[in-house]
């Protein structure tokens, strides 16, 4: 079977895999000027260069640094690589993102881009997905830590608030035992 990820690197042996969404989870990007962007990325679309204005979610740098110390980090976005790659080149200042997956790695299910974690080549009992879009993890709700969509609230603390929980989750044998029972998700009523 051809997996989306390379085999686990020696430094990540024994670590769980944390799959992070990009847009509205870690950053918010816009093609129109926003006041005080954290950075601006030129992106070529249809042979024309557009500036993308990127705002980083509050606490994201500390979050990424800490998560990179305890997890194998994958950014899995439904965005196109021609946009997301240059954003990640600047965003990943701690060099903790080991793998980048883009729209072409998503599964189109009923008009939604779904991130099929079973294609990663990792033991699903050791994979966590953090995403603001429940449709993205519809195949793997027992692996999901839902987060709210973030656009520009400077007082948001959700990523920082999640650090202790994710630190604890890194130590359990099977993340699905915990997540399936403790995280109220969009499908918990079923």
Residues annotated as catalytic (active site), given as ranges: 21, 23
Q: Are 114 and 139 in contact (CB under 8 A)?
A: yes
* CA neighbor of 1 nearest in space, from 81, 113, 161, 121: 121
Distance of CA 126 to the CA centre of its chain: 15
Q: Are 103 and 58 in contact (CB under 8 A)?
A: no
Could you give the C-alpha distances from 190 to 17, 53, 177, 187, in angstroms and in order? 27, 39, 17, 6
Neighbours of 121 (CB within 10 A): 14
DSSP assignment of 69-92, as one string?
HHEEEEEE-SS-HHHHHHHHHHH-
* CA neighbor of 180 nearest in space, from 190, 172, 168, 188: 188
């Amino acid at each position: 079977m051809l997996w989306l990820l390379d085999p686990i690197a020696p430094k990540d042996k024994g670590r769980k895999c944390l799959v992070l969404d990009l847009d509205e989870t870690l950053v918010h990007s816009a093609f129109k000027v926003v006041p005080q962007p954290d950075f601006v990325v030129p992106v070529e679309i249809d042979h024309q260069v557009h500036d993308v204005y990127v705002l980083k979610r509050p606490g994201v740098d500390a979050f990424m640094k800490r998560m990179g110390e305890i997890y194998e980090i994958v950014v899995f976005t439904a965005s196109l690589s021609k946009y997301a790659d240059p954003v990640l080149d600047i965003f990943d200042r701690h060099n903790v993102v080991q793998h980048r997956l883009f729209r072409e790695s998503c599964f189109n299910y009923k008009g939604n881009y779904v991130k099929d974690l079973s294609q990663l080549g990792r033991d699903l009992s050791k994979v966590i997905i953090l995403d603001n879009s429940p449709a993205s993890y519809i195949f793997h709700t027992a692996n999901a830590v839902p987060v709210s969509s973030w656009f520009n609230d400077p007082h948001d603390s959700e990523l920082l608030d999640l650090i202790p929980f994710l630190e604890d989750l890194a130590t359990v044998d099977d993340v699905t035992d915990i997540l399936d029972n403790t995280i109220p998700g969009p499908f918990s009523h079923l």
